[in-house]
Structure 1
Amino acid sequence: MAASLEEFIRSSSTPVFVDFWADWCGPCKMVAPSVKKLAGEFKGRLTVVKVNVDQQPAAASRFQVQGIPALMLFKGGEKVWSTAGAVPYPQLKQAVESALR
């Protein structure tokens, strides 16, 4: 999955927002509704991908995920923004809006 995720990010015609998460992660559950809201609000202009680090440890390793939730935004195959922890929706939206400019 790590290689195919990388390839997907590189070949995507829209910016890609990646949420690295796990079932047992409380902060991941807190940020999940905001990630879902982003996907709906920016539909067609942003691709949202959720990566379960327990099921895809190679992807987490490849993207150097140290803590979850790890949120990353890629534009043109390059990482333009990242953060870890439960981030409020306005901050996520601002990162996406600046990537779409």
Structure 2
Amino acid sequence: MLNIKDPSQKEQMADLWKDGLEESRSFEDFRFAAFIQNQEGTLTDVLPDQPASSISEYMSYTWENWNLPENEERLKQSYDILQKTFSEY
């Protein structure tokens, strides 16, 4: 679980037990690595490419902050039908 409070401002929950629900902290990016294990539990492949014995490099993902979602208001296809129906009452 990533515990993201506000992805538009890159804000995640702080230490819940120490700081409570209201506290948060900022972050710049997500860093991650992916790996494949065989049935014995041995690492067989790591992304980004590196020795499986010590994972020290990570891929990074970030995005631009935003303030409002881009949207376009429109009437639903059923608007005229509902308007006609309710005008009868």
The question of a shared fold, defined as TM-score above 0.5 by the shorter chain, is answered with no
Query: Would you tell me which structure has more helix in proportion to its own residues?
Result: 1
The interval holding the TM-score normalised by the smaller chain is: under 0.3
State TM-score, norm by structure 2: 0.20
